[in-house]
Amino acid sequence: MYRIGQEEVDEVAKVLLSKQWMRGGDPAAGHLQEVERFEAEWAETLGVSYVLLMNGGGTAGIVCALAALGIGPGDEVIVPAYTWLATATSVLTVGAIPVLAEVDESLGLDPEDFERKLGPRVKAVIPVHMAGRPANLARILEVAHAHDIKVVEDSCQCDGGSYQGRRTGSWGDAGAFSLNYYKIISCGEGGVLVTNDRELYERAFIFHDPGAGFRRDANQRATPLFVAQQYRASEIMGAIARIQLQRLEGILADLRRHQRRIITELAGQPGLRLAPSNDPEGDCGVVVAWQFDSEDDARTFAAAAPGGYIGIDHGKHVFTNWDALIERRVMHHPAMNPFNFEANQGARADYSPEVCPRTLDLLRRTYFYAIDPDWTEEEVAARIETLAAAGKAVA
């Protein structure tokens, strides 16, 4: 979260005083319907038909999307080896098995390795737009459509990003966003699912709200109710999310301005090589990513240019740090562990370092420099000077 102000405070106060804190209130009774208003505004922003705000972060969005698509035991889902671990654990939550694929130099899912990892059990793929950087959706979708693979975009770190002029999250069968504290905009632990598929939306809605049959529009749904989870968002979350959405374009404009200034002024700087981008214009501007010839060079640069991180040090974003998954410690009861399901015997559940060596090599050599939209121009200039000096140290 970058910015928050009195507007969020005022909107939350209205909800508190209304005494209607749960979504689904009756507008005829004066209920504010903050969640539904946010969903309509987010749908307009992305150009999609259906939006579902929920509690539980982007993880909830991915889980609900997979469940709505009917993914479950016996299925495999391709996930990139560089992503927050919840991308993979979401697959386990619905009873399926995540299969790792390499990332390419852009740090997004490598479409060619995705294609190599296809098999008879693969039913879906989750391309991730890491650190505000769009994945190679054109090629990923080409492969997916050729093999009848469902696509769930993980746009949790790319709120407001775009690819070829169209918002990330809106390309696949479904998309998931995060309004978690650490994201571009936030409402605490918010998650968002988007889709253009009415049936998928209805199934996701039911999965996120076991009381969905009591909503005022329940009789308009064709999908029968089923036992499900509880990810329903509160009106307080909706109120905050609406104001944060109003801030989004301004935040992105400032992030991108600072990012592009850094890139432009350091272009041609000896020692610095930008990581390739699948869409520089659609990049959210959250980071500048440089790649080096060796891990030693990356660490030399990082030591001289504080304010960023080397990819391999990015904690639970690196698959070799997914201890619970590697050790197959899933769910609270062994009978509910997807790795133990009869339907999943024979699935490819290998998470050893040898599975994605290229990803580990790239992450050891890539330095991500974090951007703050509220830097002054003088602060940006000073940082460029520091980065230039650090680049000379590895030239």
Which pair of tokens denotes residue 144? Answer: 């997916």
- CA–CA separation, 177 and 132 (whole Å): 11
Q: What 3-state class would DSSP assign to 350?
A: coil
Residues 6+ apart with CB under 8 A from 29: 20
Residues 6+ apart with CB under 8 A from 257: 285
- CA–CA separation, 122 and 143 (whole Å): 12
Q: Which residues pair with 378 in a beta bridge?
A: none
Overall size of the chain counted in residues = 395
Per the listing, tokens 């999965």 go with: 207
- CA–CA separation, 385 and 378 (whole Å): 11
Q: Tell me how crowded residue 329 is: count the other CB atoms within 10 A of its CB.
A: 11
Residues 6+ apart with CB under 8 A from 332: none
Q: Which residues pair with 152 in a beta bridge?
A: 174
User: Is 316 annotated in the active site?
Assistant: no
Per the listing, tokens 């039913």 go with: 123
Q: Residue type at 308?
A: G
Q: Given the DSSP bridges, would you call strands 97-101 and 76-80 parallel, antiparallel or unpaired?
A: parallel
> Exactly one of 150, 183, 316, 392 is catalytic; which is it?
183
CB contact at 8 A, 69 and 174: yes
CB contact at 8 A, 181 and 170: no
Q: Residue type at 120?
A: P
Helix or strand (DSSP H, E) at 98: strand 97-101
Q: Please report, for residues 106, 369, 384, the alpha-carbon distance to residue 258 in angstroms, rounded to integers and kept in the order given.
A: 20, 12, 10
Helix or strand (DSSP H, E) at 65: helix 57-68
CB contact at 8 A, 241 and 190: yes
The residues annotated as belonging to the active site are 183
